[in-house]
Structure formats: structure tokens, C-alpha cells
Amino acid sequence: MLKLFLLIGSINMAIAVGLGAFGAHGLQPKLTEKMFNIYQTGVQYHMIHAVAIILVAIISDRLGDPTILSWAGWSFVLGVIFFSGSLYVLSISGVKILGAITPIGGILFIVGWMLLAFSAAKSF
């Protein structure tokens, strides 16, 4: 699990940095301020949760139940896809219905953090 989540987290961070740079240099002049802010929110949460995926990798051999940590890691991965992905597409396309998908990603982020906390609590 350590290697897999380290790989996924690192790739996600590289993608987030690239998308942030693309947004700042390529999209900002083309998007409204509101849509650019939505895009930037996607990048911010993408970066935070790429670090969370790397955190799962780092602590996977030291803390708690590996199954719970694996679920936490996959929750973060899916959260990035649903939350950040929907914000990226929404900001570029303007298709407002995609905003209905974003909360699913937010819930997945919360689930991931709660599973991480549960794993830590189990290790006492």
C-alpha cells in the first residue's frame, strides 16, 4: 500500500501543480472571476488531498489497520476526482449541473479524514 499511495499521491500533486499553472497562465484571461475562483478551489483541494494520499502512504506501515488506511486513501483519490474534477469541468464548460457532483467529493474527503482519525484512534 505504501508504494501505491505514494505513487498516486505524487502523480496527483504533479497534476495539481500543472493544472494550477495552466489556470494561472492560460485560463485566467479567458474565465470570469467567478469561474476562475471555482477552478482555483479545485486546485487547492486537489493539492491538499494529494498530500493526504502521500500521508496515507507514509503512515501505512506504522499506524493502525491497513484496511482502514487503504479505504481512507481511496476516499481521498475519489474525492479528488469528484470534487476537484467537477470544479475543473464546471469552470471551463459553465455546465452548472456539475456543481451537484461536487458535494459527493466533499463527503468522500470527510470520510477519508474520519477513517484516518479512526485508524489513529485504533492504534492506542
Q: How do residues 18-30 score in pLDDT, each as one tens digit?
A: 999 999 999 999 9
Residues in the chain: 124
Give the sign of the dihedral formed by CA 4, CA 9, CA 86, CA 100.
Answer: positive
Q: How do residues 63-118 score in pLDDT, each as one tens digit?
A: 767 899 999 999 999 999 999 999 999 999 999 998 899 999 999 999 999 999 99
pTM of the model: 0.95
115: buried, middle or exposed (CB in 10 Å: 19+, 13-18, 0-12)? Answer: buried
